[in-house]
Structure 1
């Protein structure tokens, strides 16, 4: 008898609103304590503890202990990918929606998608890399790095020869749940966002996975990829 993937059990774990809120709060790749996740899900600490136990048992979360404190994070980038993909599923017809809150607008504009850049800025960066010939779309939802791309990343301070590919390759196409286009993920995407953080081109916002593009960041994006802030507003 062939063993079937336990999709229903995983779907049931994600479907509960409080657990979905906790998982969403961890999509920026950072670890958070139970109290902070309880607040994100608007539940009591006791209820949060029960939900976290189920998510741990289901393989969606990992936990690390530091002193008397326990910090929870997603079990891996594959969990983030699944959550982002699920979030992108929705009706294709036009639906009247309430105006986005300021926080939601910031998330749509630029955010961390676990360990890489997403939102309108992430899409624009990916399109820029493709248009410049630094990346090319490949089979199995991969991006291939071109010789020109290798030279560009090297000039930017990223030694691509030292990056260890995963089974998905050096660069992966990740479906953006707000823009419904593919942005750059995988090891190359991780190194790129880390470079942008290190060079103060972008910065994290407190208690959110949204990021701000700094004045230096807009200058770098325009100079290297032809991206201007006004074009994304």
Structure 2
């Protein structure tokens, strides 16, 4: 037990529904005043300030003074990544425990739903749409419950500078796999290929990270180029 990571402190901070609501409101990378966060969480000003002070003391939020007002934002990108991972696990576990029943999507800012970091690959609406196009274009296909890159897919990806043979040398357990997308209720692409695609998009400056969040800003060129990829 002594060697187990001490995650209980962070888990306790996030377990409170009101604190979780305020954290969730900051997932888009924005900085919000305590009054706005209090209203979003349904708290009095004094209660909100007490909760926000705990989140800041725990290293989850950063305080910015603007005149007489205090604004709060995510302290670092790892906080956003942890909350996003919890959202994904929550929705995936609900889907597993209620097979065949609809699971209500989490409410989130449109920017967070559109394109965001999911671990080391692209998540959100853009990622789910790209994954579906790759399946329809037969760039990837499922065989015996595993996702494989087809010879056609390997050629098409190589033309865009993504070489599957090189990706196979990395320390990923799989070349391509499903990753459950909590905002889309359908999978997007994970694994070495998912990470390689995100790297291509970032290096091409089609996507940029917004502040200390998981949100990705998409340029107009990026929107067009990614939409063309695997388009039939």
TM-score, scaled to structure 2: 0.60
2:22 is aligned with 1:15? no
- Which residue, 149, 153, 158 being the options, matches 2:153? 149
Deviation by residue 1:77-136 (Cα, 9 ceiling, x = unmatched) = 9x96564121453795697x9xx6xx7111112211122111111111101111111111
Task: Tell me the equivalent position of 1:67.
Answer: none
Alpha carbons of structure 1 residues 126 and 71: separation in structure 2 relative to 1, 3 Å: closer
Q: After alignment, is 119-128 or 17-26 more displaced?
A: 17-26
Give the secondary-structure state (helix, strand or coil) at the position aligned to 2:155. helix
CA–CA distance in structure 1, aligned partners of residues 20 and 153 of structure 2:
40
Rg larger in structure: 2
1:46: Cα distance to partner?
Answer: 6.3
CA–CA distance in structure 2, aligned partners of residues 215 and 94 of structure 1:
33
Q: Aligned runs of 1:88-107 on 2, under 5 Å?
A: 88=92, 89=94, 104-107=109-112
Deviation by residue 1:8-40 (Cα, 9 ceiling, x = unmatched) = 999877633447976997999xxxxxxx9xx99
CA–CA distance in structure 2, aligned partners of residues 24 and 194 of structure 1:
27
**1:27 touches 1:112 (CA, 8 Å); kept in 2?**
no
Give the secondary-structure state (helix, strand or coil) at the position aligned to 2:182. coil
1:139: Cα distance to partner?
Answer: 4.7
Task: Tell me the equivalent position of 1:56.
Answer: none
Task: Tell me the equivalent position of 2:67.
Answer: none
Task: Tell me the equivalent position of 1:216.
Answer: 221
2:179 is aligned with 1:158? no
Q: Aligned runs of 1:193-212 on 2, under 5 Å?
A: 193-212=198-217
Alpha carbons of structure 1 residues 52 and 72: separation in structure 2 relative to 1, 3 Å: farther
C-alpha RMSD over aligned residues: 4.3
Task: Tell me the equivalent position of 2:70.
Answer: none
Q: Aligned runs of 1:77-88 on 2, under 5 Å?
A: 81=85, 83-88=87-92
**1:26 touches 1:73 (CA, 8 Å); kept in 2?**
no
Give the secondary-structure state (helix, strand or coil) at the position aligned to 1:158. coil
Q: Aligned runs of 1:1-233 on 2, under 5 Å?
A: 15-17=15-17, 18=19, 47-48=54-55, 51=58, 73=78, 81=85, 83-88=87-92, 89=94, 104-139=109-144, 142-163=146-167, 164=170, 166-167=172-173, 169-226=174-231
**2:77 touches 2:214 (CA, 8 Å); kept in 1?**
no
1:152: Cα distance to partner?
Answer: 1.6
- Tell me, which stretches of 5 or more residues in structure 1 are unaligned? 1-7, 29-35, 54-69, 228-233
1:213: Cα distance to partner?
Answer: 2.4
1:48: Cα distance to partner?
Answer: 3.5
CA–CA distance in structure 1, aligned partners of residues 76 and 208 of structure 2:
22
